[in-house]
Amino acid sequence: MGCPEQSHDSYEPYRRDTHGLATLVYTLPEKKKKKKKKKKKKKKKKKKKKKKKEKKEKKKKKNVFLHFSIRGCSVGFSNVADPHKTSFQKNFLEIKKTF
């Protein structure tokens, strides 16, 4: 053999066998674990949903309009949050009794 055996393992990517043949040595790079960002996104979505629900409830409380009709006579309650506590509800019940 013309080439003397020398150890070039420090900078060459192959090693010498006892028979003088070169064998490639390649190590697979370790896969890095990806950080999960899904948890953060879920928290943000939950907060947005809560805000939307609160806005819907506020809109319902602002403008409440109830309309009843009894045999052609119509009685309307506007801006009534709780109709049982208002005088309109008492009048409506009296009108209902007469018919």
- pTM above threshold 0.85: no
pLDDT, position 36? 72
Neighbours of 63 (CB within 10 A): 8
CA distance 93 to 39: 54
Residues in the chain with pLDDT values less than 70: 1-29, 38-99
Strand partners, 68: 75
pLDDT, position 18? 57
Number of residues assigned to the chain: 99
Output the 3-class SS for 49-70: HHHHHHHHHHHHHHCCEEEEEE
